[in-house]
Amino acid sequence: MANTLTKDADKTVKQIHILENAGCEIVRVSVPDIESVNALKKIKENISIPLVADIHFDYKLALEAAKYVDKLRINPGNIGNEEKIKLVVNEAKDRNLPIRIGVNLGSLDKEIEAKFGLTAKALVESALKHLKILEKLDFYDTIVALKASDVPRTIEAYRMFAKLNDHPLHLGITEAGTSFSGSIKSAIGIGTLLEQGIGDTIRVSLSADPIEEVKVGKEILKALKLRKFGVEVIACPTCARTNFDVAKIATEIENKTVNIKKPLTIAIMGCAVNGPGEAKEADLGIVGGKDAHLLYKKGEIIEKIAENEIINRILKELQNEQSN
C-alpha cells in the first residue's frame, strides 16, 4: 500500500513505480478526501499495475473514485444508508469493478463486537453482514479480508470463512508491527493460509517503508514456490567447518542482485558437508574448501577460486546468465 499523500499525484506515482520495480503486482491508495480523488486519474494513467482505492464513510468519494480505479475497498456498512450504498454498487456494476470488503478487528461493527467479542467469529460475522448488503443489491464481484493484528485469530477467521463459501480472499496480518517482527508475523499468517490453498491477494502491513512490505510479500510467495522472482540466495548457517565468510558474501550478493528479475538460485556454502548437494541444484554455487573454493555452474564444477574472487566471479556469471 502506498503511504504518500494520494492528493500528491507525482509523489504517489513515483512511489508506485518503486514498488512496481520491487515486484508489487497491485497497489492500494487511501482516498480520504476529494483532492485525493482528483489525483486518481493522473496516478492511474502513469502506472501499469491495478489501482485500488481505499474509502471509508463517504459514498461520494467512492462514486467519483470508481471512474479511475480497478477496485474499490469499502465496507458497505460504514458507507452510509442503503440508498447511498446502492449508488456505489451500481457504479461498480456499470464499470465492472470488484469491491473488496476489508473487515478489521480494530474497527468492528459495535453490534457484532458486543455479541461475539474481539474474536475470529466476529470477523467472519462482520464480513458476512457486509456481503449480505451487497448481495441484496445483486452484487457478487467481491473479495473479502478478515484481518486481526495477531496471527492465530487471523488464521482462524480465514479458515472459518473459507469453509463457509468460496469468495476470493485478500490476506494480511493488519498492523503487524515493525519490519522485523511484522515480517515474521506476516510470513507465518499469510504463509500458513496460502499453503492451505486459502487466499488470492496478499498485503504485508509494516510500520516501515512500503518497499519493505513488497519485499517481504515477494519472499513469502517465493518461499512457497508460488512465484519465481529474482535471485534467491541459499546460504548455510555456518559452523566450525566453514571455510570462508559465508554471511558477508551471501549478504553482499543478495544486496548486489536486488534488481535482477530473472529467477536464479545461488548457493553459498561453507564446506563440503552439504555444499556440493546445494551447489549442484542451484544455478550458481560456491563450496568452501581448505585452500580454494569450488565454483559450480548448472551442477558442474567450473573453477577453483580464492575467497576474494567469489563476489566478482559470481556477479560476472550472473551477467552472462542474464544476457542468455
Judged by the rule CB under 6 A, the positions of this chain that interact with ligand SF4 are 236-239, 241-242, 269-271, 273-275
Min CB(271)–ligand SF4 separation in Å? 3
Characterize 114-140 residue by residue with b for buried, 16 or more Cβ atoms within 10 angstroms of its Cβ, and e for exposed.
Answer: eebeebbebbbbbbbbbbebbeebebe
Q: Please, is 61 exposed, middle or buried when counting C-beta atoms within 10 Å of its C-beta (0-12, 13-18, 19+)?
A: buried
Which residue, chain included where needed, has cell 467512492? 62
d(CA 275, CA 295) in angstroms, rounded, equals: 11
Report the residue number whose CB is nearest to ligand SF4: 270
Q: To the nearest whole angstrom, how small is the minimum distance from the Cβ of residue 308 to ligand SF4?
A: 19
The β-bridge relationship of strands 284-287 and 142-147 is unpaired
In the complex with ligand SF4, the residue whose CB is nearer, 164 or 273, is: 273
The residue (of 217 and 275) whose beta carbon lies closer to ligand SF4 is 275
Cβ nearer to ligand SF4, comparing 265 with 274:
274
Nearer to ligand SF4 by Cβ, of 275 and 285: the residue is: 275
**Minimum distance between the CB of residue 243 and ligand SF4, rounded to whole angstroms?**
7
Residue closer to ligand SF4, measured from CB, 34 or 247: 247
| Shortest CB 239 distance to ligand SF4, Å | 3
d(CA 148, CA 103): 9
Contact 103, 127 (CB under 8 A): yes
Minimum distance from residue 315 beta carbon to ligand SF4 (Å) = 22
For residue 12, the SS3 value is helix
C-beta of residue 160 within 8 angstroms of C-beta of residue 120: yes
